[in-house]
A and B are shown apart, each in its own frame.
Chain A
Amino acid sequence: MTDAGADPGAGRLTLTLGPVLFLWSEERWRDFYFRIADEADLDAVVIGETVCSKREHFHARAMDEVAERLTRAGKTVRLASLALVTAPRERKSVQRLAAQERFAVEIGELSAVPRLRGRPFAVGPMVNVYNAATAEVLAKLGATTICLPPELPLASLERICAQAPRVGIEVFAFGKVPLAISARCAHARFRGLTKDTCQFICGEDPDGVAVDTLDGQRFLALNGVQTVSGTCHVALDDIDGLRRAGVRGLRLSPQSCDMVAVAQIFRAVSERRLEAAVGRRRLAEIYPDVPFSNGFLHGRPGRELVAAGQAQ
C-alpha cells in the first residue's frame, strides 16, 4: 500500500444508488424511489433505463416526479443513458438526455459526450475505464465522477485514484454485477420469444432469471439483453481497503430487497459504527438465498467470496 500510514478514516465515502437494472412495473419503480427519497441515507441516486430501450416507456411518465422528489429530499440526481445504443430511437433517447440541463447525465457509452461538451457528466460502470490515462481523457471532456468497471481489482483502483485525482472514483459495492450485454435477448428466448416480440416478458422476473450450472451451482442471471452475476457482489469487508485506495464513493445496485436497509448498513460500516462482519450477516438476512461474492476486487474469479482475513 502506498499510503499505509494515512488515516483510513479520512475522507467520507459517498453512497450512490445505481439505476434499477431490472424491469419493474411503473408502480413498483415509482414507489421504490419515493421510499428511497423519503427514507434512505444516500448522497446520489442514478435513475433511468440502461439495459434495454424497449423498456423506457415504462418509467417515462414517473421520471420527472421521481427526480424532483429525490432532489427535494437532498439527493443528487443523475440520469443514466443506455449502455448499448444502435437503433435510431436509442440515439434520440441519448440526445434527449444530453439536451436537458436540469440533471447531470451518467453516460453508458460515449455517444452523448460530444453533445455534452463543456458540461460536467458522470461515467457509468459499462464504460471501459481501466487506467488513469482513460480517466484523464474523460475528465478533460467533462467527467467529474467515474464508476469503474466491476471487474477491476483493488490494485488498479488504487492507481487510477492516485493518478487521476481530479475525478471522483466510485466503485460497484453491492448487487448482482452487470457482466455482459448483447444484441440478442436471452431472457426473451428463454421464454420462447425474441427481442422483437418480447412482450416485455423480463418484467415478470424483477430480480432476473437464475442460471445455474448443470451441477447446480448458482452462476449467472438473465436480465433482458443483459447478463448479470448470479451472486450478489458485496464489498462490505473491503471498505477500508477501498478508502485507502482513494475511492470516493460506493455504488449500491438495487435488487429485490430492502435497499433502505442495505444503504443503512453500508453507511454504518463506512462510518465505523458497525463491524463489517456484523453488517454482512445482516445483509444476508435482508437479501437471503443469493450467495455473496467479491472476487473481482481481489483479482480472483468474480464469482468467489474472499473472506476478510484472506484479503491482501
Chain B
Amino acid sequence: MQLICPAGTPAALRDAVDLGADAVYCGFRDETNARNFPGLNFSREELEREIAYAHSRQVHVLVAINTFMRAGSEALWERAVDDAVRLGADALILADLGLIAYTAERHPQARRHLSVQAGAANADHIGFLVEAFGIKRAVLPRVLSLTEVAALTREVPCETEVFVFGGLCVMEEGRCSLSSYATGLSPNMHGVCSPASHVRYRKDGEAMVSMLGDFTINRFGAGEAAGYPTICKGRFTAEGRDGYVFEDPVSLDALAHLDTLHKAGVSALKIEGRQRGRAYVAQVVKEIRRRLQSGSGAADGAEALRRMSEGQRTTEGSYDRRWR
C-alpha cells in the first residue's frame, strides 16, 4: 500500500519525501483546493521545483484541485489543471464533474483521481465515473465501514485510497454547507471549513467562548482547553440539554486496521493534515511504516500519536460500524 502524505508548504513536502512518503499531495495557493488557508500551499514556481525534488527521490506528487468551480470563474480551475499537468504532477485529485470532464478531454493522458470531496460512496457511482472519465483511483468518503470499504474495493474498476489518520469529517465530504451557513464561506466553493478569519474567542466570566461568525460553537470552563470552533465538533443545546450533538472534538485513527485494509486490496493510505507541521508528519509516517513492517496493530507510538491529534482524542469513525 502506498503512503500518501500531506504537504501544506514546500518545506513540509521535502520533509514528507525524506521521511518515506510514497506520494505527497498538495494544492495551489488559492480556492481551487480544499485547504485554502493563509500561509499554506504552492505557487507555480514552488510546485515545479518541489516536483523535481520529489521525482529525484522517486516520490509522486498529487495535486488537489478539489473544490467546485465558481460559475463565471471556471478559468481559474481550468488553469490549475493545465498548470499541474504542465509542471509534471503525477495525478490530479478532482471533485467537480465539469472539471473532471474538462481534464479528461484536454489532458486525456493525465492521471485522474476522484477526490473525497466528490462524495462517491458506492461502486455504481465510482464505476460510472471510471467509465465516463477514466478515473484511476477513488478516495473514499469517511462514511463507510471497513466491511463496506472491502466490498467496494473488490467491485470497483479502479484503485481505492482511504484516510487512516488526521482530521475527521463527521459529515459526508463535499456535501456539507454547515460552514457557509454560519460564515458564507464553504469548503465546496472557497476551500475552507470554519475559516480562521471568522473565528473569535471571548471571555465570559471564567469561561472562554469560541465563536464562528455570529455563532457560539463552544464554551469552555476554567481549566478546560479551548478547542477550534468547527461546527460538527461544537457544543450545542437541544431540548434543554447541552452537549456535543454531532461529534466530540476528536480525530481519526484507523491505524489498528492497516492489515484489514491491505487484505481488502486498498491501494493507498492517506494522512490528513496539510495544515500540520513536520513533527506530525514524521511521527505518523514512522508509526505507519513500523506497523506495516511488523504487521502488528500494537502500539508503542500510539500514545505519541494521540497527543498530536485534535482534542488529543481519536476515533475510528465510520470504519467501526458502532460509530454510526
Say yes or no: B175 contacts A131, CB within 8 Å. no
Say yes or no: A213 contacts B175, CB within 8 Å. no
B259 within 8 A of A: no
Taken together as a complex, chains A and B put the C-alpha atoms of A195 and B143 apart, in Å, by 13
As a 0/1 sequence over residues 135 to 176 of chain A, the CB contacts with chain B under 8 angstroms (1 = contact) are 111100000000001111001111110010000000000000
Say yes or no: B70 contacts A196, CB within 8 Å. no
User: Which of chain A's residues have a CB closer than 8 A to the CB of B125?
Assistant: 85, 109-111
Say yes or no: A181 contacts B171, CB within 8 Å. yes
Say yes or no: A222 contacts B245, CB within 8 Å. yes
Closest to A134 in B: B98
Whole-angstrom distance from the CB of B84 to the nearest CB of chain A? 18
As a 0/1 sequence over residues 155 to 191 of chain B, the CB contacts with chain A under 8 angstroms (1 = contact) are 0000000000000001110111110111110101100
B284 within 8 A of A: no
Say yes or no: A160 contacts B236, CB within 8 Å. no
Contact of B236 among A109, A111, A183, A219 (CB under 8 A): A219
B224 within 8 A of A: no
Say yes or no: A214 contacts B216, CB within 8 Å. yes
User: Which of chain A's residues have a CB closer than 8 A to the CB of B217?
Assistant: 213
Closest to B125 in A: A111
A4 within 8 A of B: no
Taken together as a complex, chains A and B put the C-alpha atoms of A220 and B245 apart, in Å, by 11
As a 0/1 sequence over residues 43 to 76 of chain B, the CB contacts with chain A under 8 angstroms (1 = contact) are 0000000000000000000000000111110100
Whole-angstrom distance from the CB of A136 to the nearest CB of chain B? 7
B318 within 8 A of A: yes
Say yes or no: A184 contacts B237, CB within 8 Å. no
User: Which of chain A's residues have a CB closer than 8 A to the CB of B127?
Assistant: 114
Taken together as a complex, chains A and B put the C-alpha atoms of A70 and B89 apart, in Å, by 53
Interface size range of chain A in the complex = 35 or more
Whole-angstrom distance from the CB of B173 to the nearest CB of chain A? 10
Say yes or no: A155 contacts B181, CB within 8 Å. no
Which A100-150 residues sit within 8 Å CB-CB of chain B? 109-115, 126, 128-138, 149-150
B122 within 8 A of A: yes
Say yes or no: B128 contacts A151, CB within 8 Å. no
Say yes or no: A110 contacts B143, CB within 8 Å. no
User: Which of chain A's residues have a CB closer than 8 A to the CB of B183?
Assistant: 301
Taken together as a complex, chains A and B put the C-alpha atoms of A83 and B172 apart, in Å, by 10
User: Which of chain A's residues have a CB closer than 8 A to the CB of B175?
Assistant: 83, 126, 128, 180-181
Contact of B172 among A181, A209, A215 (CB under 8 A): A181
Say yes or no: A222 contacts B235, CB within 8 Å. no
B30 within 8 A of A: no
A240 within 8 A of B: no
With known contacts A177-B181, A182-B143, A227-B246, A133–B101 Cβ distance under 8 A: yes
Say yes or no: A131 contacts B181, CB within 8 Å. no
Closest to B219 in A: A214
Which B110-125 residues sit within 8 Å CB-CB of chain A? 118-125
Say yes or no: B69 contacts A130, CB within 8 Å. yes
As a 0/1 sequence over residues 244 to 257 of chain B, the CB contacts with chain A under 8 angstroms (1 = contact) are 01110000000000
Pull 11 A–B residue pairs with CB atoms less than 8 Å apart, ordered by A. A133-B98, A134-B98, A137-B98, A149-B177, A151-B186, A151-B189, A194-B324, A210-B239, A214-B218, A214-B235, A296-B181
Q: A133-B98, A300-B184 are in contact. List 19 more A-B contacts (CB 8 A).
A: A85-B124, A85-B125, A109-B120, A109-B121, A111-B128, A128-B68, A128-B97, A129-B97, A151-B180, A181-B171, A182-B172, A182-B246, A183-B324, A184-B318, A196-B321, A214-B236, A227-B246, A301-B181, A302-B182
